[in-house]
Structure 1
Amino acid sequence: MMTTLLLAVALLWPLCVAAGAVWHAYRTPPAQRRYCSWLWVSAAWPALLLAYMAEGRWVLEAWMLGGWWELNTLSRPWLAFSALLWSLAALHARGYFAAEEALARGGDDDAQRRLQRLTLLWPLALLGNVLLILSQDIASFYLGFALMTFAAYALVVHSGSAEARLGARAYLILAVLGEGLILGGLLWAAGSIDTLTLEGVREAIARSEHGAWMALLLWLGFGVKAGVVGLHVWLPLAHPVAPAPASAVLSGAMIKAGLLGWLNVLPLGESGLAPELVLLGQAMMALGLAAAFGAALYGVWQRHPKAVLAYSSISQMGMLTALVGTGLTVPQAWLLLLPGLVLFAAHHALAKGALFMGTSISEHMPRWRVPLLFALMALPGVSLTGALAAGLVSKWGVKSVLYDAQLTTLVLLLTWAAVGTSLLVSVCLWRQWQLRKSGGSHPMQWGAWLAAVVAALAT
């Protein structure tokens, strides 16, 4: 009963927060509005608490085509790191937007409009993220994915500059393309065996004569969000212009929605798959490794720290894409590989969130010793390379399984890709050093960043 109640609160509370933003827009004088209030910051807290409850399953036949939501061994850890990152990013945003809030309360119409849009659509994007993680039926999953995708437009376009509008336009165009591919793949699979669940989609892909084409549509559709090479162009355009807390959730939590989509719909770990599906897995491995190396080589030449981090996300997601591909090509290793892959994804989410928040710290440096400040900024990146703390554990958890499966070439390539990550982290810190500005930062801003650093190291 308690878990069911908390599920309802986790899904309804972001809606209440969004409704509160609308209420204040019409009922509270501009000079008295608190845009990033504690109510707004708390939008992800029920979902975070839900992740630490017992596993459960809920079926609601009156919901659309029939709702099926589940806390299981995959959705619980995914919800935990996603909700934690959303919570830390919201806390960071409370400090990050403090100066802009002061302008809004002083009568700046543009600041009021920007903050109103952000505080309305942020909790809706969070709601979509939570819903897609919990959903096991097609309608709920697609609703959550689409809600998160389109609400996140406000996170990219926030500043309203020409560069922000370009990044938001690129994001929106590719998002529409991705949504079309996902919808086509889901409907094709659902119609082929008359199913309404993601489990049925996996079965349809594994057994259908045209399963490889369904899988291709879904891989490309979710690949827009996951930054698959060729579909990644929105990432380096969107991240440099988005606010730091928005970039944290875009690269940490939302980009993982594409990866979770693959895990939910592709017949990973199933033996006896059609040769075409095995070929798709090989293509995923090849393109994933191409992204891992290509993004690293291109990213080191970027001038903006967040552009460097965007290419780092493409590179890391390329590694994860290659690992997912092994689920189709080497199915016997998948059950052992999956836990390491989930830990890899969780660590990347929290580390990348900390790195993006760190870019705002270097722009408004607190009055600390500069070597200490930059050492703290470097820690999540060093861990991301697999050199220490949770990064070392996650990378070794993956590589040990690949060694046992005799995939030594893949291990070697992933190791070299980690060298590319090291270069990207170094370049990012150098760019932050070049663009550093003193003057102090809001306690909420650096407090949330420090909490994200600790969370990344202790994933």
Structure 2
Amino acid sequence: MNSLLLIATWAVPLAMLAACLSPRVRARMPALLGLAPLPGLAAALLAHDAAPLVLDDSRLNLTFSLDPIAAVLLGAASLLWMIAGIYARSYMGKGPNAARFAQWWLLTMCGSLGVFVAGDLLTFYTAFAIVSLAAWGLVAHDDTPPARRAGVLYIGLAVFGEVCLLLAFALLAAYAPGSSIAIQDVVAALPENPARHYIIGLLITGFGLKAGLLPLHVWLPIAHPAAPMPASAVLSGAIIKAGVIGLILFLPLDPGLTGWGTALTVIGLLTAFYAVLVGITQQNPKTVLAYSSVSQMGGVATVLGMGLATGNASATMAAAFLAAHHVLIKGALFLSVGVAAHSGGRRDWTLVLPAGLLALALGGLPLTGGALAKLAAKTPLGDGLVATLVTVAAAGSTLLMLHFLFRLADTRAGSPVARAKAGLLIPWLLMAFLAVALPWALAPTLVGVTAAQSLVPKALWAAAWPVLLGSVLVLALRRFGAALPRVPEGDILVLGSVTARAGRVIANVIERVERRLCDWPTAGVSLLVLTLLIGAALFAGSTLFR
């Protein structure tokens, strides 16, 4: 029975989307968004040790499964989708565009949660395609020039990532033993696959793009400021984890692939430091958070890279725990920006204290989930140069998050006496509480880190000094930051002005299409067509992947 929850993780959001064909249901759907992730949350709690569920017939072979590593990320992502959905009800209001937003939200959620319960190449690719393509509707929802520009960039890179993964999956299936396309079977055969180096390069490119790794990170700092606040929360907290789970599932811990492990480690470290350097030049708090997400995903990639380079199996759960912590923290911090934007000049503890604690937790502040996550990563990172660089990167994370807090303090509503509605404030506080409490509850079971270990003087100092260093650096930033260059959102992409000019004609065409798609019933029909095309791809792809 628990295995049926894996199908419900997909089916419930899709059923709710189909119900939007009724105008009456469509108008009420924004108030129901918090219900759609419940099967995913139940699956994470109850089905993480259930037997895989295989739907097999002469045309189609689909496998749904959930291992403990994927369950960690599924549970965290489901919580964020649920709370952000409740938050979205108040944030989006009852305007004419709220129903359209809800439909894109449901389709994107289906793919975002679906990647965690996919057990074969075809099912995984379908879920990944859904989350990648449907998220455009969240990025471009506001239909402003920045939103349209962000939508153009996002969909272009998303298609590029999909092509990379399609090629990789086709090569995996072509050389798989027998007719099985189960993920565990094709990955087990990857070290002996004659095309293994091409496959791993394509996998790191496709999944690294979604996770925000350098140099394909550019969609994040452009998409986040353009999207509505609840959409930014799930984009940064949950959607980029589709890339993380892909790297975890498809990169084998094999001694013959140490070179790729080293390459992923280097990419991760470069991403972690580069994002901090660009992030501290930003003024929009949402953009600062976007670069923080890029930096944090660089840290996750470093842990996975070291696991791949050394064959250390503990790296996968450590990376999953680190990523799940990021889901909760970053989701909560994006919601805090929305609360600040609806509040007047006065700041009270319901915003300042939780936001400050969560921000410093990303840097590994002692007695927080961030410190536990850093302890969990200690084993795969070892005691050498990489571990030292990751610790220094934690100081950079502290600097960037303190910079975010200053930017958050400058965010306020037009009226000095305005106060955020309970529909925004309560979900934000609930998300903040879960981000603090859940890592402590789960760390002993998942990664073997106990409260006692984190209270050892050596561990306290190891967690404290990067935060102290980051705090000193932020004072220097406040003093001399005005002299820093103002790097535009999207950094290397925007700086490539020649490429931008060459794509302007295409962008204008896509923008006109986007404006048309923003109208109902066109948007509803487009969603239905997209869903039907994805369903047709299941049947067409079953021949390719067998």
Aligned to 2:140: 157
Aligned to 2:9: 10
CA contact (8 A) 1:64 1:139 kept: no
- How many Å apart are 1:7 and its aligned residue? 3.3
- How many Å apart are 1:201 and its aligned residue? 2.7
Aligned to 2:166: 183
2:28 maps to amino acid: R
1:175 counterpart SS class: helix
Structural mapping, 1:60-99, within 5 Å: 60-62=55-57, 65-98=60-93
1:413 aligns with 2:389: yes
1:317 maps to amino acid: M
Aligned to 1:22: 21
Q: Choose 437-446 or 52-61, whichever is displaced more.
A: 437-446
2:99 maps to amino acid: Q
- How many Å apart are 1:259 and its aligned residue? 1.0
Change in 2 beyond 3 A, CA 1:365/1:228? same
1:233 aligns with 2:232: no
Aligned to 2:419: 440
Structural mapping, 1:98-109, within 5 Å: 98=93, 101=94, 104=95
Kindly provide the CA deviation profile for residues 22-71 of structure 1, in whole angstroms up to 9, marking residues without a partner as x.
312xx57x9xx33411x332111121112111421211103963111112
Kindly provide the CA deviation profile for residues 381-411 of structure 1, in whole angstroms up to 9, marking residues without a partner as x.
11111113211111111124433xxx42111
User: What TM-score, normalized to structure 2?
Assistant: 0.76
- How many Å apart are 1:84 and its aligned residue? 0.7
CA contact (8 A) 1:65 1:139 kept: no
CA contact (8 A) 1:204 1:211 kept: no
Q: Choose 52-61 or 202-211, whichever is displaced more.
A: 202-211
Kindly provide the CA deviation profile for residues 86-118 of structure 1, in whole angstroms up to 9, marking residues without a partner as x.
1011011112112xx1xx3xxxxxxx2x32321
1:239 counterpart SS class: helix
CA contact (8 A) 1:347 1:390 kept: yes
Structural mapping, 1:41-440, within 5 Å: 41-54=34-47, 55-56=49-50, 57-62=52-57, 65-98=60-93, 101=94, 104=95, 112=96, 114-194=97-177, 195-268=180-253, 270-271=254-255, 273=256, 277-331=257-311, 334-365=312-343, 369-370=347-348, 373-387=351-365, 388-403=367-382, 407-437=383-413, 438=416, 439-440=418-419
Kindly provide the CA deviation profile for residues 390-444 of structure 1, in whole angstroms up to 9, marking residues without a partner as x.
11111111124433xxx42111101111111111111111112122225122212
Change in 2 beyond 3 A, CA 1:367/1:19? farther
- How many Å apart are 1:370 and its aligned residue? 2.9
2:90 counterpart SS class: helix
Give the whole-Å Cα distance in 1 for the aligned partners of 2:352 and 2:369.
20
Give the whole-Å Cα distance in 2 for the aligned partners of 1:13 and 1:253.
18
Kindly provide the CA deviation profile for residues 129-148 of structure 1, in whole angstroms up to 9, marking residues without a partner as x.
22211111111000000011
1:40 aligns with 2:33: yes
Give the whole-Å Cα distance in 2 for the aligned partners of 1:339 and 1:132.
17
Give the whole-Å Cα distance in 1 for the aligned partners of 2:401 and 2:58.
45
Give the whole-Å Cα distance in 2 for the aligned partners of 1:132 and 1:327.
22
Give the whole-Å Cα distance in 2 for the aligned partners of 1:368 and 1:283.
48
Change in 2 beyond 3 A, CA 1:215/1:243? same
Change in 2 beyond 3 A, CA 1:5/1:339? closer
Aligned to 1:109: none
1:157 maps to amino acid: A
Change in 2 beyond 3 A, CA 1:6/1:450? same
Q: CA RMSD in A?
A: 1.8
1:456 counterpart SS class: helix
1:51 maps to amino acid: A
2:36 maps to amino acid: A
Give the whole-Å Cα distance in 2 for the aligned partners of 1:117 and 1:148.
16
2:162 maps to amino acid: E
1:416 maps to amino acid: V
Question: Structure 2: 5+ residue runs without aligned partners?
Answer: 440-546
Change in 2 beyond 3 A, CA 1:400/1:214? closer
1:296 maps to amino acid: V
2:342 maps to amino acid: H
Percent pairwise identity:
35
CA contact (8 A) 2:279 2:292 kept: yes
Moved over 4 A (4+): 366-369
Give the whole-Å Cα distance in 2 for the aligned partners of 1:443 and 1:371.
15
Change in 2 beyond 3 A, CA 1:11/1:35? closer
- How many Å apart are 1:279 and its aligned residue? 1.9
- How many Å apart are 1:336 and its aligned residue? 2.5
Question: Structure 1: 5+ residue runs without aligned partners?
Answer: 105-111
CA contact (8 A) 2:87 2:423 kept: yes
Change in 2 beyond 3 A, CA 1:295/1:34? same
1:440 maps to amino acid: R
Q: Choose 226-235 or 386-395, whichever is displaced more.
A: 386-395
Give the whole-Å Cα distance in 1 for the aligned partners of 2:353 and 2:88.
23
1:240 counterpart SS class: helix
User: What TM-score, normalized to structure 1?
Assistant: 0.90
CA contact (8 A) 2:86 2:427 kept: yes
1:155 counterpart SS class: helix
